[in-house]
Amino acid sequence: MTKYFLLAVPATLLATQAFGQTIEFSGRANAGFSEFRGNSSTTSTTVVTTNSGTSESTRAVNPYGKKLGTGFGVSVRAQRVGKTGLLTALDLGFDWMQARTDVNFIYYNSSSSYSRSATGTVRLYTPCLTAFGGVGWRLAGQKLALDALVGPELAYVLDAREKGDGATSANGGWSSDVD
């Protein structure tokens, strides 16, 4: 069903030129905030540091934070505007989002394992390719036109990168950088 919808929107944009509608093209840039929600997201987490003798790695137990992180996006849009104000649109873009969570403990996993209280922040960065197909209505005034659109937005996550840093009560600072 989704495949047919994604094929129908561009076909509609091209086929309706014959009926006197216009097609508008635009570039967009945005900034915003993002965070995770749901049962698995958290406001604070524990960081685990593993030392195998030859290498050390540090990562958060749960990097899916409920704290707002900043992000940005860019996209291009093609939309058909009918004579009566009916809109159909296709928007392709890139979003770079970030969510944050606080760190309250650090667990050291080595030949003698122990834990300490810690402070810091872990950020989860997720760059995505996005596609939005929508229908809506143009509300035109004397000096301003407002477009109201609804429809699904699909995102393909290209990568997820965890970065964090902070301090512990005994061992100084810690940092993580995990793909």
Residues 86-145: tens digit of each pLDDT: 999 999 999 999 999 999 998 888 777 888 888 999 999 999 999 999 999 998 777 888
Distance CA 61, CA 48 (A): 7
Rounded distance between C-alpha atoms, residue 151 and residue 61, angstroms: 35
Q: What's the rounded Cα separation, in Å, for the pair 109 and 161?
A: 22
Residue 16 binned pLDDT confidence (cut-offs 50, 70, 90): low
Distance CA 74, CA 30 (A): 6
pTM: 0.73
- Say yes or no to pLDDT of 8 above 90: no
Q: H helices then E strands: how many in the chain?
A: 1, 10
Q: What does the pLDDT look like over 46-80, one tens digit per residue?
A: 888 887 777 778 888 888 999 999 999 999 999 99
In this prediction, residue 176 carries a pLDDT of: 86
| Domain ranges for the chain | 2-171
